[in-house]
Each structure stands twice: as structure tokens, then as C-alpha cells.
Amino acid sequence: MNARRAGGDGRVRIGVVGCGVVATAYYLPCIRRMPDAELTAVCDTNPRRTAACARLFGAREQYGDGFEMIAKAPVDLVLILTGPGMHARFALAAARAGKHLLLQKPMALTLADATAIAEAVRAAGVKALIEPSDHTPLDPDYVLLRSVLDRGVLGRPHFFAMMPGAPAGPHPSLGNNPYGASAFFTADSGGFLFDFPYAPSRFVTLLGPCRSVNALATIAVPKVRIVPDRAYDEFLEGVTDPDHANYWDVVLNLPRTEEVEVGAPDNVLCTYEMDSGYIGVFHATRVLNPAPAGAPGGGFAVYGTDGNLVMDRGGHWATIYTKHPHLLPRVDADGGWHHDRTYDRSKPVAWPKPPEGGFNYYHVSTRHIVDCILRDRDPLVNVEWGRHITEMMSGAMESVRTGRRYEMTTTLTGLR
């Protein structure tokens, strides 16, 4: 079954399932400024949220059940922005109904669910983008960095590491997200590893597909305190400007008065073997405290036999030192190559302003999936990409369960 490309007026009609923080802070403000898209329907089990989103962003229809919205609303594209536990069910419903879809991270919590989504999408002939598009071939800075690595500046593959870092002083988000038990802490959230597919996406984008994974995992902090959900509802009902509906800017400073049990690992150590020959380590954790002055920070580093790449440290987004400087785009004063994000925060920019880090993946993803629908192209970050990234995370948890190395069953073509 082939899904229609767009509505009768040439615009892609969008329905949103899940009116939580990322919806109102990023996706919905982006949609309302896209001339070739229309916000047709919003859905949430909380009617206060759907009413607020309809008022702020102009949705014509409101629903309290995602499956009903998918079945009845006249939409071409469904944005699935719910907690991770419902991602697979809504994605399957959307694909089987002939709707294109954008699926928030993670794609699924198991390889079986990710495979079912991929098969349903291909069988229906619909487009599907799997978040996050950050750290992927949709991010131009990563495309540039990959092109530099492909020149052989690091020599033969050796080792990579991505470890958490903590700021030098107290910060209100340290330790865990301040809201959203079902999104971040319950068993069906998947835990922090599944909240952070940015890491495996980065590894695959820069180093190629994954071959195997080993992992250890614990729940280090069994109970956490968060801001109650009703605070978000109260915030949203008080917003009058749709361009100022970013709850994240507010929730960091609200009191955490609700205690919740942590049902998924918050401390996961993964070791990955990549097809390219790199082996590496990734530590996913919510348990962070301020670092003492002068302590080494976190970040991502790749070491080859002839050079190294360091990211997120030393005042630059990416730095490469190599024995082959003639392969670098340029050689800076200290003999290396330093690259910073292309977004300059000192200059005014048109909406939507990128969040910290300089790449608004929510906007880029929405723009990309709408373009793919209108031009009948497959998204760059598609179901095969999402399935491989999902297996890198679900495979880690399978390794934890069995105590053995997990051999990957998926791969990606076009990557070394």
C-alpha cells in the first residue's frame, strides 16, 4: 500500500502522539513555521496537554488515544513522541495505516520490535525517520569529520572511548533528568542507555557498523526525586507565546518533590567491536557529581596508529593530531586541526534557534522527513539505521543477561 504524499493543498498533514516536553519545546514550534506542513491533530492521554497544544500551535483536532488518532485523523505523517515503552506499538499502527512516521528515540527496546517496525514500514511503502538525527549523516559537521577520517589521518584503527563528564560546579540537572518517570526511569523506559543512542550513532557515523558488544550494568541509585508531572501541565496552561513553551528552561529550577523507583539500569559499561577494526568503550550513566577543579573531563576520543581525534574537550568541538598533516583540511598553529560547530551563538539566527550544542536535530529531522515525503525519497536516518543502533543497545543488555559477548546480526551498507 502506498501512502499519499501530502494533503490536497500540497502540504504534509501532521499528527503528533505525545504532547510532552520535546513536542512543545521543539517539534510543534518548528511545524507551525513550515509552509509545506500543517499541524492537523495532537494526542495525549492528558487532556490538559492536548488542549494547551491545540491552543498554542493551532491543531484542528484533539485525541486522547493515539491509536484512535492514527486510525481517524486525516494526517499523512505521525510524530511519535511518547515514552519509549509505547514506541513500537504506535509505530506499527502508523505504518500499517499507511502513515509516514517520525519516531523519537529509542526506536524500540528490543531488536524484535525494531525489526517488526522496519518490516511494517517497508511493506507499507511509507517513509520513517528514526531519531536522533544528531551525530548522524544528517549532521553536516559529522559528514565533514567522517570525510577527514576517511583520508586515513589516524592510520590503522586502534581504540575509542566515550566517557561521561561532569561540570566543575553544581548544576541542577546533574545525576538525572528532573522530570518524566516513564520516559527515563521506569523499566519500560529502557534506562539511560536507551535514552542515549547518540553514542552508538556517533560510533557508527564516524567508524562504521558494529560487529559485537559486551556489557555490564547496575542500578546504582534505586530511588530518585523528580518534579511531579502536574508541574508541566501547570506550566503549559500558563504559556501564551508558542515560541516560549520550552519547559526544560523552567523545570531545572523546580523542586523535586516526587520520589520514584528506578526500574532500569542507570550505570552501563559497554565495549564495542566495529567492523573497521576499532574496539572501544562507552559508559552510560546518570550518576554524576561536580568534578573537582583540574579533574579530567569526559568526551569522545578515537586513537589510531598515526593520530588521534578528540571531541568535546579542550575548547573545540573536534581536534585531530596526526603524523600526516598534509591530509588535514588545514593545519593550525599548534600543528593540529581544530573544528568548531558551524553555528555561531554570537550571531542572531532565524527560528528555531539551535539548543546547546548548535544542531537542532528536532528541526532538522522534521524538515527532512517532510522533504522525503514530498520528494518521495528514503530518509537518511531510516529504519535500517535505527535497527542497527537499537541492536547496539539491546545487544548490550542481552550481554548483561547472558554474561557473554553479543554478536550483531544487523549491519549498514555504504559505511566502512
The pLDDT tens digits of the residues spanning 279-311 come to 999 999 987 777 676 666 678 999 999 999 999
Containing structural domain, residue 202: 140-228+262-343+391-407
The one-letter amino acid code at 195 reads D
Domain containing residue 334: CATH number: 3.30.360.10
Instruction: State pLDDT tens for residues 188-243.
Output: 999 999 999 999 999 999 999 999 999 999 999 999 999 999 999 999 999 999 98
Domain assignment present for 221: yes
CA quadruple 204, 116, 28, 250: dihedral, nearest 10: -70
Domain count, the chain: 1
> Could you tell me the CA-to-CA distances from 164 to 161, 193, 286, 287, 389 in Å, in that order?
10, 12, 9, 9, 19
pTM of the complete model beyond 0.85: yes
Domain assignment present for 119: no
Report the pLDDT value the prediction gives residue 6, as an integer from 0 to 100: 66
Instruction: State pLDDT tens for residues 316-374.
Output: 999 999 999 999 999 999 999 999 886 544 443 333 445 544 678 999 999 999 999 99
Domain assignment present for 23: no
Domain assignment present for 2: no
The pLDDT-based confidence of 81 (bands split at 50, 70, 90) is: very high
Domain assignment present for 165: yes
> Phi/psi at 42 (nearest 5 deg)?
-130, 150
The one-letter amino acid code at 69 reads M
Domain assignment present for 8: no
Q: How much of the chain, in percent, has pLDDT values that exceed 70?
A: 89
Domain assignment present for 153: yes
Domain assignment present for 307: yes
